[in-house]
Each structure stands twice: as C-alpha cells, then as structure tokens.
C-alpha cells in the first residue's frame, strides 16, 4: 500500500508531459536570451537529455539558421537542459534533428488537431506553440488556455 502511494506521488511529481511546465526558478538567463528570440523558450521536459545534447551540438545548422553561442554559454545551457530534461521512454524518439513535435508523446497529445489546422498560415508550424496555447510563454498548456485561430478545430 505504502509503495503504491509513493508511486502515485512520484507520478505526479515527475510528469513527462503535464499541462503546466513553467521554467524552473533557477533557469540561467542565457537560456532565455539565446533560446527564446526566434521561438518559445521550450520547456526542457519536452525533450530527453540525449536529444537536447544533439540539439546543442548542432546549433551551427539549426533548422536552417545559425544559433551558435559561445562555448561557456553552450555548456551552461546544455547542463540546464540535461538537468530538467524529460524521460526518453515516455517521450519516444524525437527524430533527427530532434524535434519536440516529432515525439510520440506530442503526436498523441495532438491527435485531435486536424490537418487543415496544422497547415493554416496562422499556425505556420507545430513548433509555433503560441499559435494555439495562449499561456505557452508562462509554461501553461492547459486545455483551458487553448484557443485555435478562428474557424479551425
């Protein structure tokens, strides 16, 4: 009985994909400065440590852009991402280059989103979380804070 309660507690304490994922209080300023200018500062829990390592190792050719940072900053950001990464078994493979939006978990959570919605110019890309999650910048992905661009479902 005790053990079951503990497992339940841990299940809540370590969600692989909860709907609230605010950045930890000790997030280095460099992460927000370097990784949130072109897109959302993605919650670290949405990729596994090995996928963050690959992302950080490939910044020179980062989805068609150069997102390189100096060595010291790279080290600081990588360590932060590793510390707060998600569980790879629960997320599933992220592909190459790693994408949050390619993980099995992401695909499963979004299976009700229609093809028409994904291809709408107001959405642009599945990576553009804020197109639908209006609380994304605050780490909220709760259903109550989802608004699809008008006319879509």
Chain contacts with ligand HEC (rule: CB under 6 A)? 17, 19, 34-35, 37-39, 42, 46-47, 55, 59, 62-63, 65, 67, 69, 77, 99-101, 109-110, 112-113, 117, 123, 125-129, 131-133, 141-143, 146, 148
C-alpha neighbours within 13 Å on the C-beta side of residue 97: 13
Judged by beta carbon, residue 8 or residue 61, the one nearer ligand HEC is 61
Tell me the C-alpha to C-alpha distance, in Å, between residue 86 and each of 44, 76, 108: 7, 18, 16
**Cα–chain-centroid distance for residue 99?**
9
Judged by beta carbon, residue 6 or residue 96, the one nearer ligand HEC is 96
Shortest reach from residue 5's CB to ligand HEC, in Å: 23
Q: Are 130 and 137 in contact (CB under 8 A)?
A: yes
Shortest reach from residue 29's CB to ligand HEC, in Å: 13
Shortest reach from residue 49's CB to ligand HEC, in Å: 13
Judged by beta carbon, residue 17 or residue 85, the one nearer ligand HEC is 17
- Rounded CA-CA distance 122/125 in Å is 9
Backbone angles phi, psi at 130, to 5 degrees: -65, -15
Judged by beta carbon, residue 6 or residue 75, the one nearer ligand HEC is 75
Shortest reach from residue 2's CB to ligand HEC, in Å: 28
Shortest reach from residue 21's CB to ligand HEC, in Å: 7
Q: Which two tokens stand for residue 120?
A: 């709408």
- Rounded CA-CA distance 56/75 in Å is 9
């Amino acid at each position: 009985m005790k053990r079951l309660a503990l497992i339940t507690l841990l299940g809540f304490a370590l969600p692989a994909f909860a709907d609230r994922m605010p950045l930890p209080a000790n997030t280095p300023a460099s992460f927000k400065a370097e990784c949130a200018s072109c897109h959302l500062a993605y919650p670290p829990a949405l990729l596994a440590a090995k996928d963050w390592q690959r992302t950080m190792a490939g910044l020179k050719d980062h989805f068609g852009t150069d997102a390189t940072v100096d060595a010291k900053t790279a080290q600081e950001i990588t360590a932060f991402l590793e510390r707060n990464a998600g569980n790879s078994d629960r997320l599933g493979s992220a592909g190459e280059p790693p994408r949050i939006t390619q993980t099995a978990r992401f695909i499963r959570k979004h299976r009700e989103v229609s093809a028409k919605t994904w291809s709408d110019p107001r959405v642009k890309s599945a990576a553009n979380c804020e197109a639908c999650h209006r609380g994304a910048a605050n780490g909220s992905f709760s259903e109550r804070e989802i608004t699809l661009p008008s006319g879509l479902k």
